[in-house]
């Protein structure tokens, strides 16, 4: 059982969770999802799966199920073995009830160095993957992504600006954006000022070591967030923060 402990204490059923984690109506909404250990690690042996808990998997799935598109960095897509969304009957019903397309595409951000032409996120996706890249990616590689079924968007010169990615997705009618990391993509989105919501699961583990933090990249002035909700299943803590408007 997942229980909300702030702002009001109450037990939450599936419909309550759907309403809490749905994306607001509007021109666009970008929610970033991470799970971390209590000491701040976001991976175990290079992957997030070792930190995920039953409660985290519930909200992670809600993020996917209720989104128009799942946004991910190429390094994370390769490390986590992303192959695109595969809705089961429950997800298909949830997406129908919320008026969403049957399958959310994956949007991958890459400068070209970490996304091979035969990446599973492209070749095994049920719907065309959107690849956001820059002019630094060779024409041959861009052509190979396209030949393997991806839609390719060149939105920068040497880097891929986060604001251009979000603007393009919204223009494509994909305004409810579920970002699954990784740290460099999250950092670029923070720098661009386009993050609307940060969803963080604090899992009951200590990891130590040299695991990455949730966001990496350029230094920005600390941005104060608004706490929206605190949930727990008695083990994990699930936090939602909003960016003040």
In this predicted model, what pLDDT tens digit does every residue of 52-64 receive, in sequence order? 899 999 999 999 9
Residue 71: predicted pLDDT: 98
Specify which residues 197 forms β-bridges with.
Answer: 31, 242
Residue 53: its pLDDT value, please? 93
Q: What is the pLDDT of residue 157?
A: 92
Residues 6+ apart with CB under 8 A from 221: none
pLDDT, residue 244, reads 85
In this predicted structure, what is the pLDDT of residue 209? 81
* 111-142 confidence digits (pLDDT tens): 998 999 999 999 999 999 999 999 999 999 99
Cα-based torsion angle of the residue sequence 196, 106, 45, 203 in order, rounded to the nearest 10 degrees: 40
Low-confidence residues of the chain: pLDDT under 50? none
Strand, helix or coil at 66? coil
Would you kindly state where each structural domain of the chain is located, as residue ranges? Answer: 28-242
Give pTM, 2 decimals: 0.94
Residue 219 has a pLDDT of 67
The dihedral through the CA atoms of 219, 225, 231, 235 has a sign that is positive
* Top-level class of domain 28-242: alpha beta
């Amino acid at each position: 059982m997942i229980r909300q402990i702030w702002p009001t204490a109450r037990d939450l059923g599936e419909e309550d969770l759907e309403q809490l984690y749905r994306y607001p109506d509007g021109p666009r909404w970008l929610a970033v999802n991470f799970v971390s250990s209590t000491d701040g690690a976001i991976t175990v042996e290079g992957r997030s799966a070792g930190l995920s808990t039953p409660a985290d998997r519930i909200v992670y799935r809600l993020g996917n199920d209720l989104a128009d598109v799942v946004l991910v960095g190429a390094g994370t897509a390769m490390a986590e073995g992303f192959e695109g969304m595969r809705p089961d009957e429950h997800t298909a019903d949830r997406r129908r009830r919320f008026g969403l397309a049957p399958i959310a595409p994956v949007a991958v951000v890459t400068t070209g160095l970490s996304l091979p032409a035969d990446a599973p996120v492209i070749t095994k996706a049920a719907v065309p993957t959107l690849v956001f890249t820059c002019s630094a990616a060779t024409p041959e590689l861009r052509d190979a992504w396209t030949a393997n079924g991806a839609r390719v968007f060149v939105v920068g010169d040497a880097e891929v600006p986060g604001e251009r990615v979000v603007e393009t997705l919204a223009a494509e009618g994909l305004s409810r954006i579920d970002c699954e990391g990784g740290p460099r993509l999250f950092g670029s989105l923070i720098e661009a000022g386009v993050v609307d919501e940060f969803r963080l699961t604090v899992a009951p583990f200590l990891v130590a070591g040299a695991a990455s933090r949730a966001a990496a990249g350029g230094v920005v002035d600390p941005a104060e967030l608004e706490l929206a909700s605190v949930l727990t299943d008695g083990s994990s803590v699930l936090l939602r923060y909003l960016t003040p408007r």
